[in-house]
Chain A
Amino acid sequence: MKILWINNDGGGYANDIDINEATTIAELFENKIPNAKASDYLIRVNRQPTSREYVLQAGDRVSCTPVKIEGARR
């Protein structure tokens, strides 16, 4: 099934991706951003806060934004 995956880390992009049925948010996160802690990100499903156990549905919009992003001087 297809969902919209938005990753605001690094370059920042939004893509339609295929995932297996019954994939949870935790599984998707581990697959897409390996070696990262979920607590370092704001994860929203259809613009709402969610839980690790949430089972994704076709057409869901999942966004992932780092809690900390370094600014600069110029």
Chain B
Amino acid sequence: MAPTPAYRIALVIHEHLTPQPSTIQCQELPDAAWSKCQSLRRQLHLAHSREWRLAARRLDRDYRSQLQAFADQMARLTSGLAHGATAGIATARGVYEDILSLHAEFDDVAWSKLQGTLCVTTEDIVLEGVALGRFQIQLDWRELPATCFRVIALDPNPAASNEDVTHPHVEHDSLCVGDARLPIQRALEQGRIADFFQIINSVLLTYNSGSPYVSLADWNGVSCSDCGDSVDSDGRYTCEKCEHCLCESCYRYCEACSCYFCCECVARCEGCEEDVCHCCQQSCKSCRDTFCPGCLEENLCDNCQQESTEAAALPASERTAGDSVGARATNADIAIHADRLGKVAVPA
């Protein structure tokens, strides 16, 4: 009897799972990933040194992601060397039975030999009242045993602030697997295809409010508390004091503490005219105006300091002469006063 299409796919997948000793020895080092890490690190350093904050945030994210990719490639390389045998890897029949079992677990199961993909479709996913629709989990078996899959929203209801986020943990069709990283890796290394799809499905059915791309509370959009405009997740700032959400046009930056604030939580420095938060602002002890710490020296602003210096620089004779004039004027005033002026007769 001719093998069924599912069995043929199982054979192909099994072939990808089984490492050949020669291929293990010839595996290339992840030079490209490392070069990318180095390049991103240089760009990140540049962005920091020039205070390009938005660019720095994006580069920081890319840098971390690229480092993780490099670490994963190294881990696969060393794992391949350590476990170059087929021990623990499912047989072709095991893979076939896994593929058959998927029909009982998921609404739709499909594969493409041309694209090298095996796909299942989840049920409608609703998390905390937000309908996210169905997702197709697409495993690329050509990359096996490496973890390579996409999660595609079939009825997308993306976050208002970022249309690439179709699920709190999916961005650009890529699922951030969090706690599932190791179980997924092990399942794919061992050819447990059905387990792989079940684990991904469990992640999609779970909301981790501690680390979403966009929180479900903000799924339908967040507005800037100052101007009321919708705020994009990349251009969102939070006031350090009152925790209000702010857009790129409305946030205020306090140089003294390097934090972001809303307009209500900062004052204008009378010296440099930059924003300074309520915690960092100081008053000149002479004029009592508000200043940032950088514009005060010994608790005096520039103007008051200058006045103080000028007063101190006056010659002693001028200061004394001034005093004498004052004294003379007082005597003169006394001299022209009428007799008994300001005095009151006291009855006997």
Contact = CB atoms under 8 A, between A and B. Distances in A.
Interface string B165-199: 00011000001111110111111001010110011
A69 B198 CA distance: 10
Nearest to A46: B97
Interface in A1-20: 6, 8-14
Interface in B71-103: 88, 97-98, 100-101
Contacts of A9: 183
Contact of B206 (A11, A12, A47, A68): A68
A69 B186 contact: no
A13 B61 CA distance: 31
Contact of A74 (B176, B179, B185, B210): B176
Interface residues of B, number: 40
A13 B204 CA distance: 21
A13 B175 CA distance: 22
B182 A72 contact: no
B331 interface: no
Interface string A29-58: 000000000000010100111000000000
B2 interface: no
A65 B204 CA distance: 14
B211 A12 contact: no
Contacts of B104: 48-49
B212 interface: yes
A69 B192 contact: no
A15 to B, nearest CB: 9
Contact of A68 (B64, B186, B187, B205): B205
A71 B203 contact: yes
Given A12-B187, A47-B97, A70 B195 contact: no
> Majority SS of interface residues in chain A?
loop
Interface in B261-308: none
B182 A73 contact: no
Interface in B135-192: 168-169, 175-180, 182-187, 190, 192
B192 A14 contact: yes
A49 B168 CA distance: 29
Contact of A8 (B68, B195, B208): B195
A8 B206 CA distance: 16
A67 interface: yes
Contacts of B211: 70-74
A66 interface: yes
A31 to B, nearest CB: 20
A10 B186 CA distance: 11
Interface of B: 61, 64-65, 68, 88, 97-98, 100-101, 104, 168-169, 175-180, 182-187, 190, 192, 194-195, 198-199, 202-206, 208, 210-213
8 contacts: A10-B183, A47-B194, A63-B192, A69-B179, A70-B203, A70-B208, A73-B169, A73-B213
Shortest 4 CB-CB contacts between residues of A and residues of B:
A12-B183, A71-B169, A72-B178, A47-B101
